[in-house]
Amino acid sequence: MIYLDNSATTKLDPEVLDAMLPWFRENYGNASSIYSIGRQARVAIEKARGEIAAAMNAHPAELIFTSGGTEANNSVLKSVVQESNLADTIVTSAIEHHAILHPISVIESFGKQSYILPVNNKGIVSPEQLAPYNNPRTLVSIMHVNNEVGSIQPIKELRETVPHALFHTDAVQSFGKIPIDVQTLGIDFLSVSAHKIHGPKGIGAMFIRKGIDYKAHQQGGAQERNRRAGTEAVSLIVGFQVAVKKAMQEMSQRNEHCKHLQSLMLSLLQEQIDSIRINSYVESSISTIVNISFKDTHLIDGESLLQQLDINGIACSNGSACVSGSLQPSHVLVAMGLPTDEAKVAVRFSFSKETTIEDVTTAVSTLREVVTSMRERH
């Protein structure tokens, strides 16, 4: 199988697994316990917290572990607007992940207001659109990198446009892939996840700037400085730490590798397949994603296309893994101005350090064969 769906999840790095195994076996203590194996677990967690926080230039006390990006997003939104009552209004973009859009819908049912900003045809929010919401009772949540087309939002400029608002960014698709400095960005909250950078599934974190009166969305024990109850998953946290360490060490090398793959794939697609639209703009997108759609929508069936690629050994998607298999058009592509029919026949290829040149060339030639066959049948 040629795996080209790394934005959905990545292969676990062997070094990450090796680091995790002792915490499943002999070092199984609860980090809240005061005896030796509990203390060992606590030391491991705090060491990991420090290293992961340093990777985003945060203080360790500002990093709270969660089960992943979805929990981090939900916790920030619901705590700020409901539990902590720090804001009455949420402002977001039309291309956010459903882990942002769906919680906002729930929050609206409690009488809170939300505003969804449009994006341009490259999937970018302009600072001018955000300017009217510079209010201390407003929470702005704009993702750093879009998971379907890879567009990189100008978070620093957006933040500077609303200095009085609270600001959150979903950085699940960017953390460990491109530099993130929470001090430079000036943000108040950040969501990250391990399994997008060859770490384990089931672990993520949220950055909460010191001084913010954040109240827990999840109650129970006093773990994570009373901000997220529940026994910490030591093995997953240690795995997250190793994945972040390797991602930071190899970031430049990985980026160059993925840029080469992206450039190669775009060139091959445009040379070999007619009537396609490139939805990932290299100058304003991350190098790990290529999203395309087909203009002759009456000849191409999106679901069948993905099934045929799978049968031929190519694993890719039509966008977010959370809605994979849905017959609904991509809300991201519709927001970028694509016709609804075309937004249903999109394909996302996403790379990692594991992806090879041969993977890309084979994927494009296979796609060409599948698309040609579909067109000929009509």
CA-based max dimension of the chain? 71
- The strand pairing partners of 350, in sequence order, are 5, 289
Where on the phi/psi map is residue 214: left (φ > 0), alpha (ψ -120 to 50), or beta? beta
- The strand pairing partners of 315, in sequence order, are 3
Could you tell me whether strands 276-278 and 289-294 are parallel, antiparallel, or unpaired per DSSP bridges?
A: antiparallel
Where on the phi/psi map is residue 316: left (φ > 0), alpha (ψ -120 to 50), or beta? beta
In 183-295, at which residue ranges do the beta strands (DSSP E only) sit? 189-193, 204-208, 276-278, 289-294
Question: Residue 37 burial by CB count (10 A; 0-12/13-18/19+): exposed, middle or buried?
Answer: middle
84 neighbors 213 (Cβ within 8 angstroms): yes
Question: Residue 163 burial by CB count (10 A; 0-12/13-18/19+): exposed, middle or buried?
Answer: exposed
The set of catalytic residues is 322
H or E segment to which residue 92 belongs: strand 89-93
Q: How many CA atoms lie within 13 A of 354 on its CB side?
A: 17
Residue 48 CA to chain centroid, in angstroms?
Answer: 21
